[in-house]
Amino acid sequence: AIKSANLTWDHENLNNFISDYCRENNFKYRDIGVPLRIAITGSTSSPSIAHIMEILGKKKTLHRLNINVDSIKN
Residue ranges and CATH numbers for the domains of the chain are: 11-73 (1.10.10.350)
- Other CB atoms within a 10 A radius of the CB of residue 21 amount to 13
Confidence band, pLDDT 50/70/90 cuts, at residue 73: low
Q: What is the pLDDT of residue 49?
A: 94
Confidence band, pLDDT 50/70/90 cuts, at residue 69: confident
Find the farthest-apart pair of alpha carbons in the chain and give their distance in angstroms, rounded: 33
- Other CB atoms within a 10 A radius of the CB of residue 14 amount to 22
Q: What is the pLDDT of residues 53-63, one digit of tens each?
A: 999 999 999 99
DSSP 3-state percent helix, strand, coil across the chain (nearest 5): 70, 0, 30
Question: What H or E segment, with its residue span, contains residue 64?
Answer: helix 58-73
Confidence band, pLDDT 50/70/90 cuts, at residue 1: very low
Q: What is the pLDDT of residues 10-49, one digit of tens each?
A: 999 999 999 998 999 999 988 888 999 999 999 999 899 9
